[in-house]
Structures are given as structure tokens and as C-alpha cells.
Amino acid sequence: MKERLKFRPPPQGLRPDWRGDNDLKQHLETLQRRHDYVAVANGCFDILHPGHVHLLTYAKRCTWLKTNGLYLFVLINNDESVRLNKGPHRPVLPFAHRAAVVAGLKDVDYVVGFGEKTPEDLIRVIQPKILIKGGSYAGDIVPGQEFVIARGGLMLWVPELEGWSTSQTVQRVQKTISKNQI
């Protein structure tokens, strides 16, 4: 059994933008030599909730994907990218905090930040064999999908965990605060 290659940078080492990240480049070269299956999931991960954990755990535990080991990259929108996609009142938590929490999950192997509206360019650099998205996106063409499929990769649509989204979580918090006037 080959040794698992792990990289969990300390919170202060997480970069909000992947460009110029020499660790990423070296890591990708090592994974290519080992012939591991590289998978990518992406998102804002603004307030981590059970739906996020379900997505990442489900992806990592799909046994049919583990033929040569599954190495899970999580691409996280930096603060500017979140504002581009979600509006001026987001993110709730800054990139460094979001990235540190996601990096601490046992099923996550590497966290990378990106500042573009979509992670398309970063997906092209990583060249994953598997692109992972939540089931709410099924039927849509997501950034990187055409690239991954054109290279013989596949899409993994993870079934949603009903009742859990960041918007619903924010609403729950707001409702609790207004009820209890915390």
C-alpha cells in the first residue's frame, strides 16, 4: 500500500490566489508521477455546514474512484471572487478563516484559493480526472466541466443534503439572533 501524500498548510500559509504558488506546482508534479486520481471540488465555503461536509466526504469515499488513490483538491473563492459571485455583503467569513476550516477536514488533501469569477483557469492547471459538484448544479454546464470531460475525465454530481445551503444557514442564524436578540 503506498503512503498517502498529504499537504495541509498552516492557516497563515494559505494563499488567497494560486498564481505563483510553487508548492502547488511541485505537488502536482508529485501526483502525476504517482498516478493518483486527482479530483477537484470548488466553492465559496462561506459558512461551513453539513452540506459542505457531505459533499467532500461523499466524493472522497466513493470506492469506485479509489483505484489509484483519490487526491482531493478544494478550490475556494477568495474574498473578491465571493463578492463578484454573491454580492457586496458576502463573504461572511474572510478567506483565511474559510480556507483553514476546509483544510482541517480529514477528507481534504489540498486547499487552493482563486480570485477569478470561476475556477476554470485553475482547473486547467490542476488537470483533474474528476470534477465534483453538488447535485443542485446537475444539468448545468459548470466551469471546467467541458475541459475535464474532453480529457477523458468525469463529473461526479453529489446528491444534495436536503435543507442545507449557505443561504439557509445564514437565514437560520439571522432568525435566531432576531428572536433571541443576542
Domain annotation covers residue 6: no
Domain annotation covers residue 4: no
Asked whether 45 and 52 are in contact (CB, 8 A), the reply is yes
| 26 contacts: CB under 8 Å, gap ≥ 6 | none
Tell me what pLDDT residue 20 has.
Answer: 54
Tell me what pLDDT residue 1 has.
Answer: 35
Per-residue pLDDT of the chain (182 residues; tens, 9 = 90+): 333 334 444 444 455 555 556 678 888 888 888 877 889 999 999 888 899 999 999 888 875 655 556 889 999 999 999 999 999 999 999 998 999 899 889 889 888 999 999 999 999 999 999 999 988 877 888 999 999 999 999 999 998 888 877 777 778 888 888 887 65
Domain annotation covers residue 77: yes
Give me the number of domains the chain comprises: 1
Tell me what pLDDT residue 15 has.
Answer: 53
Among 147, 2, 8, which residue's Cα sits nearest to residue 66? 2
Domain annotation covers residue 47: yes
pTM for this structure?
0.84
Among 126, 100, 101, 171, which residue's Cα sits nearest to residue 30? 126
Asked whether 111 and 102 are in contact (CB, 8 A), the reply is yes
Domain annotation covers residue 162: yes
Among 124, 135, 5, 4, which residue's Cα sits nearest to residue 59? 135
List the CATH number of the domain containing 51: 3.40.50.620
Tell me what pLDDT residue 146 has.
Answer: 97
The domain in which residue 40 lies consists of: 11-180
